[in-house]
Amino acid sequence: MTDSLTQAYSDGKTFTRPRSGCGVRFTPSFRSARTASCGKAGTRIVTDGGRTRSVQKGASAVTTTFRVAAASLSAASLVLAGCSSSTTDDAPTTGSADGAITGEITVFAAASLKATFTELGSQFEAAHPGTTVTFTFAGSSDLVTQLTQGAPGDVFASADTANMTKAIDAGLIAGEPTNFATNTLTIVTPPDNPAGITSFADLATPGAKVVVCAPQVPCGSATAKLESATGVDITPVSEESAVTDVLGKVVAGEADAGLVYVTDASGAGDSVETVAFPESAQAVNTYPVAVLGESRNAAAARAFEDLLTGPEGRAVLEKAGFAAP
């Protein structure tokens, strides 16, 4: 018996990997080769706004990405020594034979969930050794677009029910979504509040540089509802695709005020001044979560959903300022 296996690439060429599975995994759609993670340590990959960062956890974790030319794939034979884990390149990871939760899951989550989900991801990995949670954070409408265009994922958490409905209508969801949190808007200004904003109506003050979310984004939809309900017509200097971008412009001093979720304002701490307004109760966003129909690890995806909707998840969400659904 040899120490390696030769497998066919999509264009008919071949590559060689060790039987242990700790060799090279080629991803045709990205024309790249990626080594398997070896040992017990996991690797979290966080994609945020088109940028990907890889955080190694533990000395035994090995993850390397090689950019290769298509013409050289037939000669590829990269082997990492000292690895003992076993993987199957093309088969879904659905947990071990004894029912334990293992493997990788990818969670598509609204930008306003970044801090809480990152914390919950760490809890999930600690509770289920051998799992890795990868997050993609963006505006909910952008996430639906990515998923409908074929981006692989296991869990989708939206900042409103409208975008979850779009995902359901597109045939992306398995089963029924579960509502796990609610959120409302608040006003943030730089610490010195240069425009003297004290109310929602002040956002329409001529000359005030106000930043809001774009209408297709949940926080932008909530803003439009408030304008309609109050008769206040805001003329923003910028409409952003994610609530975190609105917050970023205020923190950077590029705007006099912005409309963000109370959770984002709380997370920003002393870098902003928060101006609460009673009208916000007229536009409450409900956050649903669901397992994706194309999930390659449905057991782990459901386990993450259970964590989120259970008492541990509720505690993390409440600490961040999310209200119960």
Q: Are residues 175 and 233 in the same domain?
A: no
Confidence of residue 215 (pLDDT cuts 50, 70, 90): very high
Q: Would you say 179 and 309 are in contact if contact means Cβ atoms under 8 Å apart? A: no
What is the SS3 assignment for 51? strand
Q: 163 with 278, same domain? A: no
Whether residues 192 and 215 share a domain: the answer is yes
Which residue among 91, 108, 129 closes a domain? 91
Contact between residue 252 and residue 244 where contact means Cβ atoms under 8 Å apart? no
- Choose from 10-14, 59-63, 236-240 the range with maximum mean pLDDT: 236-240
Overall number of domains in the chain: 3
How does the average pLDDT of the chain come out, rounded? 79
Do residues 235 and 274 both lie within one domain? yes
Tokens of 235: 């003329």
Is the sign of the CA dihedral 217, 220, 226, 229 positive or negative?
negative
Check: CB of residue 285 under 8 Å from CB of residue 222. Answer: yes
pLDDT tens per residue across span 66-84 = 333 333 333 333 333 333 3
Report residue 103's pLDDT band, with 50, 70 and 90 as the boundaries. very high
User: Residue 30, class by beta-carbon neighbours within 10 Å (0-12 exposed, 13-18 middle, 19+ buried)?
Assistant: exposed
Residue 15 has what pLDDT? 39
Q: Is 273 helix (H, G, I), strand (E, B) or coil?
A: strand
Judgement on whether residues 198 and 275 belong to the same structural domain of the protein: yes
**61 and 108 together in one domain:** no
pLDDT digits (tens, 9 = 90+) for 105-135: 999 999 999 999 999 999 999 999 999 999 9
The pLDDT value given to residue 284? 97
Higher pLDDT, 243 or 80: 243
Are 227 and 317 in the same domain? no
Q: Report pLDDT for 56.
A: 38
Mean of the pLDDT values across residues 148-163? 97
Kindly state whether residues 113 and 232 are assigned to the same domain.
no
What number of other Cβ atoms are within 10 A of residue 43's Cβ? 16
For residue 194, give every residue at least 6 positions away whose Cβ sits within 8 Å of its Cβ, in sequence order, or none: 256
What pLDDT is recorded for position 98? 60
Q: Which of 5-19, 141-155, 236-250 has the lowest mean pLDDT?
A: 5-19
- The structure tokens listed for 309 are 């909707």
Q: What angle is formed at CA 303 by the lines to CA 300 and CA 306, rounded to 5 degrees?
A: 155
Average pLDDT rounded to a whole number, residues 163-170? 98
Q: Where are the alpha helices (DSSP H) in the chain?
A: 114-127, 140-148, 161-169, 218-230, 243-251, 262-268, 298-309, 311-320
pLDDT digits (tens, 9 = 90+) for 33-58: 333 333 333 434 445 544 444 443 33
Domain that holds residue 237: 185-283
Q: CB within 8 A of 229, min separation 6: which ones?
A: 279, 282, 283
The pLDDT value recorded for residue 86 is: 37
Pair 142, 101 in one domain: yes
Query: Do 170 and 302 share a domain, yes or no?
Result: yes
Considering only CA atoms, which of 171, 175, 136 is closest in space to residue 157?
136
Domain boundary among 56, 75, 91: 91
* 165 and 296 inside one domain: yes
One DSSP character per residue, 176-242 reads EEEEEEEE-EEEEE-TT-TT---SSGGGG-TT--EEEE-TTSHHHHHHHHHHHHH------SEEESS
Whether residues 155 and 232 fall in one domain: no
User: What pLDDT score was predicted for residue 20?
Assistant: 39
Domain closes at, from 35, 63, 91: 91
Q: For residue 94, is pLDDT > 60? A: no
pLDDT of amino acid 25: 35
